Amino acid sequence: MKIFVDTSTPNCYLALDDGQSEIKEYNWYADRNLANGLLRYIVDKLEDSSLTLNDLSGIGIKKGPGSFTGLRIGLTVANTLATELHIPIVGATNESWLAECRRLLAIGQSHQIVMPSYGQLPSINLPKR
């Protein structure tokens, strides 16, 4: 089972792909609950299909552009799962991220660690004195 995750917006997207039947897609309005709930959300959706984290064979994730915090949380969870489960992880950007991740996993690619791509330089405000 491969999973695909997009945490670049407050609406978290998760897809489960067993490579045989139709992809199961889920959306969760995570907003400020993403850090506390993402891993549990993934586990719950796997359990709905009678699966566990150990059934995962690959992870695809949208690495940007998008919310700094959302990308940071999503990539941390995905990279940690891939490392601990010893499975490939790939990341892609923009609207075609899902198709690109599916293609990369299908040909056996792995990025080892996926880093965020914010799409622009950070906008940092100086502290007010």
Contacts of 18 (CB under 8 A, 6+ apart): 1, 2
Predicted confidence at residue 106, as pLDDT, reads 95
Question: DSSP strand E in the chain: where?
Answer: 2-6, 11-17, 24-29, 58-64, 89-93
Assess if residue 59 is contained within a domain. yes
119 vs 100: CA distance, rounded Å: 17
Domain that holds residue 24: 2-106
Assess if residue 128 is contained within a domain. no
pTM, to two decimals: 0.90
Assess if residue 125 is contained within a domain. no
Assess if residue 95 is contained within a domain. yes
Assess if residue 117 is contained within a domain. no
pLDDT in tens, 50-93: 999 999 999 999 999 998 899 999 999 999 999 999 999 999 99
Helix (H, G, I), strand (E, B) or coil at 96: coil
Assess if residue 37 is contained within a domain. yes
Domain count, the chain: 1
Assess if residue 64 is contained within a domain. yes
Assess if residue 32 is contained within a domain. yes
What pairing do the DSSP bridges indicate for beta strands 58-64 and 2-6? parallel
pLDDT in tens, 35-54: 999 999 999 999 999 999 99
- Report the CATH number that the domain containing residue 44 is assigned in CATH: 3.30.420.40
Tell me what the mean pLDDT of segment 103-108 comes to. 96
